[in-house]
Amino acid sequence: MTFYVTTPIYYANSLPHLGHLYTMIVADAVARSKRQQGIETFFLTGTDEHGINIERAAQKNGRTPKEQADYVVNYFTKMTSAFGLDTAHGGYDIFMRTTNPFHYEGVSELWRRVAQAKTPKGNDALYKGHYEGWFCAPCAAYKTEDEYVKAANAGDPPTCLIHETKLDRVSEESYFFRLSEYDEALLGLYESRPDFVRPEARRNEVKSFVAGGLQDLSVSRLKTSVSWGIPVPDDPNHTMYVWFDALTNYITAIGFGNEQQEKEIGFEKFWPALHLVGKDILRFHAVYWPAFLMAAGVEQPRAIVAHGMWVDPTGRKMSKTLGNTIELDILNKFFPINAIRYFVLREMVFGQDGRFGYENLIDRTNSDLASGLGNLSSRTLTMIHRYCEGKIPDGSITDENRLAAKRAGVEDESAISNFISHARDEFVRHSEDLAFSRALEEAWAVVARADKMISDAKPWDLAKDANQRQTLSAVLYRASETLRWLAVLLYPVMPTAANEIYKQLGLGDGAGSIDPRTLEWGSLSAGTTIEEVKPLFPRIDKAKTMEEIKQESGAQSQEAGAGQTAQPGSGQHATEADAVAGVANYIDITDFAKVELRVAEVKTAERIPKADKLLLLTVDVGEEKPRTILAGIAQHYEPEKLIGRKIVVVANLKPRKLRGYESQGMLLAASIGEEGKPVLATFTEEVPNGARLK
């Protein structure tokens, strides 16, 4: 049995960020989990190096396109090594580059096959025509009217809805793929293989997109407009559309259409692949790619699984074009790899978007890892050193000691072994579904269970009582056996930390080669000599680290400003305190009830000397005395016009000193556009001062 997993190949126009790292981490966890089960696995990642976007980035940076790609690949090499994702660390098997000569050969072969193919309706799958329309270089995609915003001036180009950048006008001869005639075949594919596109919600989106009718797809550009790419076989005046070229990497990498890779890896051996992609590029993978493969007569992928996007604290997708990325250099400098892996896999609920914040990462590292798993491991092993001469104790309790154990609050062994077996089954099931967040919840339920067992049994007290020798041994055996299971389960998520736990248990380096489904309770041998206890997850000092990150981010954005790497404004890191858990995290009604929103009437309003943004207001909130509130609205509201206006204030906000005044609340306003123009919340009906908003 073999397994093949891929990440998208990343554009070589700019350096990777957290969003890119994320798909690699997911793929790496999948690959490790398959390998752990003894399945021969091939894991592909790499770079997408052709097309206008790379050509432009190269030009901007004073490089040739190849130099630009090499520069980015160099960084990838460095970073994937630092994050333990490269081959040397048991990660990917190939770093695919679309500039590899074997890829040219393979893509040309696929093109030729498509060029000879007929559509299901019997027409030529490929034809030459004329393309007229708008193209987004960062998306590498043609845009229909509902995918762009028209410019205010009739003569100006529209802007891409995703990237907020100007589109290119294309009007030229082009080869077209007759996608319009593949709709039924594609719908048939989605119908016959419900797991082909996942998750369900994405599958439905894809289905309705296809059911809405497909347009033929322009699959080449004139060489005179885009020269950096693979020439169309037998028509070198045309360059292949970069997505045709890029998608094909998944098969050329393992030997489709070229001998070199076929010999080394083997297309027959590994295809079909599981494609992991961000939801932003699902259409290319779930519509265009299957249609190309149908035309060429190549087997379809195993599945296409789309994950959500990492968004910044304001909810925008993290991207270089928007300049709101989390840089890998910073992650690498301030956070341990295992903590980053754990955080992203735990935090991003499968299929949904996730909000990234450094503070959140620090909190999780400290609570779940340092105080949770790390503490469980170190306290257990420390007690084994202290009370059992550094050897795993025997876990059995003989009949005559059972009562004493019960008295000490220690339950039957089956209670914990059943609990952990069930958690293991769930963990494995969720991991197979790529629902790592759910899987990790199961694992942490085990951590909590073992912690509770220790706190209830109080081994430090048992050690003082000679009659409780067996009870003490049993508790410590159970804790260490639990740790062994956790090390095996967690290996795909945090390979080095899991191996470290395994090693400290005296079991060597092998957590990655044990199939979790074969774990049996009680297989940890009594008498095994454990190793020295080393901390697994040092606590992170939040205030200090946040300050250092702020400084580092500032330094980086200044460097980026000097021209180097096309990272506009990368100083805008998601460091705000409001960088909270997940976008999908709802608040409870009781959370909302904590906020006291009240109607207020502005009594006085004046400017504050030397503070051109602030107004000093007194407002009547229906209390004995009016309150003072400072509001940053001076550039948008004339003070005198505010008098008598009914507004909404947060009445229970902690008072705060600003410019020598105490602000006793906050007023509510909508924030419009990039500069955040405030528009005060107000009422169109009569409302008494002090009325509460519920």
Tokens of 313: 């604290």
Task: Compute the distance between CA of residue 370 and CA of residue 406 in angstroms, rounded to an integer.
Answer: 31
Q: How far is the CB of 490 from ligand MSP (least distance, A)?
A: 23
Tokens of 105: 């050969």
With CB under 6 A as the rule, give the number of residues binding ligand MSP. Answer: 20
Tokens 């509510």 label which residue? Answer: 668
Q: How far is the CB of 248 from ligand MSP (least distance, A)?
A: 8
220 or 324, CB closer to ligand MSP? 324
In angstroms, what CA-CA distances link 582 with 311, 359, 537, 636? 9, 13, 23, 33
Contact flag: residue 281 with ligand MSP (CB under 6 A)? yes
Active site residue 130: no
Q: How far is the CB of 479 from ligand MSP (least distance, A)?
A: 37
232 or 318, CB closer to ligand MSP? 318
Task: Compute the distance between CA of residue 157 and CA of residue 134 in angstroms, rounded to an integer.
Answer: 9
- Please give the single-letter amino acid code of residue 279: K
Report which of 664, 665, 682 is spatially closest to residue 599, judged by C-alpha positions. Answer: 682
CB 679 within 8 A of CB 669: yes
- 326 to 385, contacts with ligand MSP by CB under 6 A? none
DSSP SS3 for 474: helix
DSSP-derived letter for residue 664 is -
Tokens of 528: 């095994």
93 or 481, CB closer to ligand MSP? 93
Burial of 687: CB neighbours in 10 Å, binned 0-12, 13-18, 19+:
middle
- 36 to 95, contacts with ligand MSP by CB under 6 A? 48
Task: Compute the distance between CA of residue 255 and CA of residue 258 in angstroms, rounded to an integer.
Answer: 5
User: Catalytic: which of 163, 207, 542, 550?
Assistant: 163
Phi, psi of 503 (to 5 degrees): -65, -45
Active site residue 388: no
Active site residue 320: yes
Contact flag: residue 181 with ligand MSP (CB under 6 A)? no
249 or 377, CB closer to ligand MSP? 249
User: Catalytic: which of 50, 103, 160, 646?
Assistant: 160
Q: How far is the CB of 185 from ligand MSP (least distance, A)?
A: 21
Length of the chain equals: 694
22 or 637, CB closer to ligand MSP? 22
Q: How far is the CB of 240 from ligand MSP (least distance, A)?
A: 13
Q: How far is the CB of 666 from ligand MSP (least distance, A)?
A: 31
Q: How far is the CB of 244 from ligand MSP (least distance, A)?
A: 10
Active site residue 160: yes
Q: How far is the CB of 649 from ligand MSP (least distance, A)?
A: 36
Residue sitting closest to ligand MSP (CB): 19
Using CB under 6 A, which of 172, 280, 548, 596 touches ligand MSP? 280
Using CB under 6 A, which of 3, 22, 244, 350 touches ligand MSP? 22
- What character string, x for contact with ligand MSP (CB under 6 A) and - otherwise, covers 246-275? xx----------------------------
User: Catalytic: which of 20, 50, 238, 279?
Assistant: 20
Where does this chain touch ligand MSP (CB under 6 A) — which range of 3-11, 420-428, 460-468, 605-613?
3-11
Where does this chain touch ligand MSP (CB under 6 A) — which range of 8-16, 405-413, 418-426, 526-534?
8-16
Q: How far is the CB of 527 from ligand MSP (least distance, A)?
A: 48
Where does this chain touch ligand MSP (CB under 6 A) — which range of 6-14, 390-398, 577-585, 598-606?
6-14
User: Catalytic: which of 139, 143, 238, 307?
Assistant: 139
Where does this chain touch ligand MSP (CB under 6 A) — which range of 17-25, 63-71, 108-116, 602-610?
17-25
Using CB under 6 A, which of 23, 37, 366, 618 touches ligand MSP? 23
320 or 478, CB closer to ligand MSP? 320
Q: How far is the CB of 19 from ligand MSP (least distance, A)?
A: 2
Using CB under 6 A, which of 20, 50, 573, 598 touches ligand MSP? 20
Strand partners, 131: 172
Q: Which distant-in-sequence residues (6+ apart) come within 8 Å of 571 by Cβ?
A: 553, 554, 556, 557, 558
Contact flag: residue 134 with ligand MSP (CB under 6 A)? no
Q: Which distant-in-sequence residues (6+ apart) come within 8 Å of 338 by Cβ?
A: 369, 494, 495, 496, 497, 536, 537
Task: Compute the distance between CA of residue 187 and CA of residue 2 in angstroms, rounded to an integer.
Answer: 28
For residue 120, the surrounding DSSP H or E stretch is: none
Q: For residue 155, is it left (φ>0), alpha (ψ between -120 and 50) or beta?
A: alpha
Q: How far is the CB of 80 from ligand MSP (least distance, A)?
A: 14
Where does this chain touch ligand MSP (CB under 6 A) — which range of 19-27, 33-41, 552-560, 667-675?
19-27
Contact flag: residue 278 with ligand MSP (CB under 6 A)? yes
Q: For 318, how many CA atoms within 13 A lie in the half-sphere containing its CB?
A: 28
DSSP-derived letter for residue 326 is P
Phi, psi of 292 (to 5 degrees): -60, -45
Contact flag: residue 10 with ligand MSP (CB under 6 A)? yes
Q: How far is the CB of 241 from ligand MSP (least distance, A)?
A: 12
- What character string, x for contact with ligand MSP (CB under 6 A) and - otherwise, covers 295-324? --------------xx------xxx-----
User: Catalytic: which of 317, 430, 573, 646?
Assistant: 317
User: Catalytic: which of 34, 50, 103, 136?
Assistant: 136
Q: Which distant-in-sequence residues (6+ apart) come within 8 Å of 384 by Cβ?
A: 390, 391, 392, 393, 476, 480, 530
10 or 134, CB closer to ligand MSP? 10
DSSP-derived letter for residue 522 is T
Task: Compute the distance between CA of residue 371 and CA of residue 537 in angstroms, rounded to an integer.
Answer: 9
139 or 501, CB closer to ligand MSP? 139
Active site residue 285: no
Q: Give me the torsion for CA of 658, 662, 666, 669, rounded to 10°.
A: -50
In angstroms, what CA-CA distances link 602 with 80, 629, 633, 649? 57, 10, 14, 11
In angstroms, what CA-CA distances link 318 with 14, 20, 359, 577? 13, 10, 17, 17
Evaluated on CA atoms 216, 217, 219, 224, the torsion sign reads positive
7 or 471, CB closer to ligand MSP? 7
- 592 to 631, contacts with ligand MSP by CB under 6 A? none
CB 678 within 8 A of CB 666: no
Using CB under 6 A, which of 3, 4, 5, 19 touches ligand MSP? 19
> Do strands 597-608 and 692-693 pair parallel, antiparallel, or not at all (unpaired)?
antiparallel
Q: How far is the CB of 223 from ligand MSP (least distance, A)?
A: 21
136 or 649, CB closer to ligand MSP? 136
Active site residue 136: yes
Task: Compute the distance between CA of residue 37 and CA of residue 515 in angstroms, rounded to an integer.
Answer: 5
- 188 to 247, contacts with ligand MSP by CB under 6 A? 246-247
What residues line the site for ligand MSP (CB under 6 A)?
A: 8-11, 19-20, 22-23, 48, 246-247, 277-278, 280-281, 309-310, 317-319
Residues labelled catalytic? 17, 20, 136, 139, 160, 163, 317, 320
